């Protein structure tokens, strides 16, 4: 009997494909199995240097194969057959997110035709562009999912996802006043700076950063960027917070040690998040998800900075923090399948609610 959905998420950090197998009981997801599919080094290199149209086509195809493999391995580990799965919800790999300007767009690659052909499972993809077509940011899309799953009648809650970029969802007790937006960099600048000085992809547990000293002058300069005070709706990505952005800020700080710069970047992530959280509420419960939760230094800085707020993991609300985003894409597939609109116009700025994504049938 068909009863499962697959959610596939490959985020800004390009640290791997998160694949989850989910069953919905009255619309509530229950995680059955999960799998992390590594991105092969040659494909990762291509994605990082993507700039020509032939390469774009190749990467679109190769990411399609990668997402199909993530699904095949997930099902194999879970001992579940393809014909037990209703649909795959695939986010795709973002290669450009430019939701503002005269011709707003957001491009996610990983051809869903390839995914459905290789897995024999209906695939739903391209979740962001309908919202952008309706004048929205196309991001963040997870707040509707956070609302359905995590809103409480008793306490104001904030869901904080620290992925490559960090985003927050504000869930007040009067829960139709929900807000959601990207706060700025999450792990992306930390990963870049760490990789520049080490032969590893990230600073495990934030150990390197924890031994550095934050430079307040550099921090203040970086926090002066208009993105941090721009009103919502707003979303961002590597287009803004990248190597070049950081290098420009470092021009006058050549005396700083790389480790002190790493500590300052950690504090930038924390400070930009904390400012937004304080504007929303002085005492809400904060629930963390995303890979950033494993960066102990980052979490400690956050706790130090937000002493009035209790900071917990989404695990305490029943969802493992590293799989929340992928489960959200299984949920977006479920919504598409049931004709349920899944954008929140007050979050993205779209002119109306809309059913998101397009379906690529297996047959
Ligand atoms: N043990 C750890 N110690 C420190 N940092 C970690 C650890 N585990 C994961 N991370 C950080 O989390 C990042 C990955 O997080 P995640 O998968 O949530 O981000 P993402 O793929 O960019 O997702 P999205 O953009 O959808 O939020 C890694 O790049 C790394 O910086
Ligand atoms: Mg990831």
What CATH topology corresponds to 4-138+323-360?
Nucleotidyltransferase; domain 5 (3.30.420)
Task: For ligand 1, pick from 7, 11, 13 the residue to mutate: most ligand atoms within 8 Å of CB.
Answer: 13
Residue 112 in contact with ligand 1 by CB distance below 6 A:
no
Task: For ligand 1, pick from 164, 238, 299, 326 the residue to mutate: most ligand atoms within 8 Å of CB.
Answer: 164
Strand, coil or helix: what is 328?
Answer: helix
Residue 290 in contact with ligand 1 by CB distance below 6 A:
yes
pLDDT digits (tens, 9 = 90+) for 344-360: 999 999 999 999 999 99
Is the Cβ–Cβ distance between 259 and 208 less than 8 Å? yes
Confidence of residue 175 (pLDDT cuts 50, 70, 90): low
Residue 205 in contact with ligand 1 by CB distance below 6 A:
yes
pLDDT digits (tens, 9 = 90+) for 281-318: 998 999 999 999 999 999 999 999 999 999 999 999 99
Residue 264 confidence (pLDDT): 98
Mean pLDDT of 169-178: 88
Residue 13 in contact with ligand 1 by CB distance below 6 A:
yes
**How far is 172 from 293, CA to CA, in rounded Å?**
23
Confidence of residue 176 (pLDDT cuts 50, 70, 90): confident
pLDDT digits (tens, 9 = 90+) for 72-107: 999 999 999 999 999 999 999 999 999 999 999 999
Atom in ligand 1 nearest the alpha carbon of residue 206:
4
Confidence of residue 150 (pLDDT cuts 50, 70, 90): very high
**How far is 271 from 218, CA to CA, in rounded Å?**
13
pLDDT digits (tens, 9 = 90+) for 219-255: 999 999 999 999 999 999 999 999 999 999 999 999 9
Please say if the pLDDT value at position 174 is more than 80. no
Give the count of alpha carbons within 13 A of 335, CB side only: 23
Task: For ligand 1, pick from 163, 191, 330, 332 the residue to mutate: most ligand atoms within 8 Å of CB.
Answer: 163
Residue 291 in contact with ligand 1 by CB distance below 6 A:
yes
pLDDT digits (tens, 9 = 90+) for 7-58: 999 999 999 999 999 999 999 999 999 999 999 999 999 999 999 999 999 9
Q: What angle do CA 352, 289, 63 make, to 5 degrees?
A: 70
Atom in ligand 1 nearest the alpha carbon of residue 204:
3
- pTM comes to 0.96
Atom in ligand 1 nearest the alpha carbon of residue 164:
22
Task: Return mean pLDDT, the chain.
Answer: 97
Residue 285 confidence (pLDDT): 95
- The residue extents of the domains of the chain are 4-138+323-360, 142-309
Confidence of residue 1 (pLDDT cuts 50, 70, 90): confident
Is the Cβ–Cβ distance between 169 and 147 less than 8 Å? yes
Residue 325 in contact with ligand 1 by CB distance below 6 A:
yes
Same topology, domains 4-138+323-360 and 142-309? Answer is: yes
Residue 164 in contact with ligand 1 by CB distance below 6 A:
yes
**Backbone dihedral region of 106: left (phi > 0), alpha (psi from -120 to 50 degrees) or beta?**
beta
**How far is 92 from 164, CA to CA, in rounded Å?**
15
**How far is 314 from 357, CA to CA, in rounded Å?**
26
Residue 260 in contact with ligand 1 by CB distance below 6 A:
no
Smallest-distance ligand from the CA of 292: 1
CATH code of domain 142-309:
3.30.420.40
Give me the sheet containing 311-313, strands edge to edge. Answer: 179-185, 165-171, 157-162, 285-289, 311-313
Which protein residue's CA is at the shortest distance from atom 29 of ligand 1? Answer: 13
Atom in ligand 1 nearest the alpha carbon of residue 187:
31
């Amino acid at each position: 009997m068909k009863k499962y959905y697959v959610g596939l998420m490959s985020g800004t950090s390009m640290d791997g494909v998160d694949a989850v197998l989910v069953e919905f009981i009255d619309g509530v997801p229950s995680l059955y199995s999960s799998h992390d599919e590594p991105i092969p080094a040659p494909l990762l290199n291509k994605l990082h240097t993507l700039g020509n149209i032939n390469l774009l086509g190749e990467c679109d195809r190769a990411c399609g194969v990668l997402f199909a493999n993530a699904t095949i391995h997930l099902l194999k580990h879970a001992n579940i057959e393809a014909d037990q799965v209703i649909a795959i919800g695939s986010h795709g790999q973002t290669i450009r997110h430019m939701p503002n300007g005269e011709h707003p767009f957001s491009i996610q690659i990983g051809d869903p035709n390839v995914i459905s052909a290789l897995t024999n499972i209906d695939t739903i993809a391209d979740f962001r562009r309908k919202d952008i077509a309706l004048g929205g940011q196309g991001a963040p899309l997870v707040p509707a999912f956070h609302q359905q799953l995590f809103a409480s009648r008793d306490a104001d809650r904030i869901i904080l996802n620290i992925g490559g970029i960090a985003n927050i969802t504000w869930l007040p007790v009067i829960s139709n006043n929900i807000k959601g937006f990207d706060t700025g960099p999450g792990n992306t600048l930390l990963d870049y700076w760490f990789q520049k000085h080490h032969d590893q992809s990230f600073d495990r547990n934030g150990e390197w950063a924890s031994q550095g000293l934050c430079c307040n002058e550099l921090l203040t300069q970086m926090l002066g960027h208009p993105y941090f005070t721009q009103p919502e709706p707003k979303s961002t990505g590597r287009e803004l917070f990248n190597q070049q952005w950081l290098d420009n800020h470092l021009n006058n700080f050549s005396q700083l040690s790389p480790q002190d710069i790493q500590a300052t970047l950690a504090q930038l992530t924390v400070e930009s998040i904390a400012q937004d959280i304080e504007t929303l509420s002085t005492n809400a419960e904060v629930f963390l998800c995303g890979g950033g939760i494993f960066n102990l230094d980052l979490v400690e800085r956050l706790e130090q900075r937000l002493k009035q707020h209790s900071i917990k993991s989404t695990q305490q609300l029943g969802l493992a923090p590293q799989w929340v985003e992928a489960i959200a894409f299984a949920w977006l597939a479920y919504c598409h399948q049931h004709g349920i609109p899944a954008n929140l116009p007050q979050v993205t700025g779209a002119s109306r609610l809309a059913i998101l994504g397009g379906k690529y049938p297996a047959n």
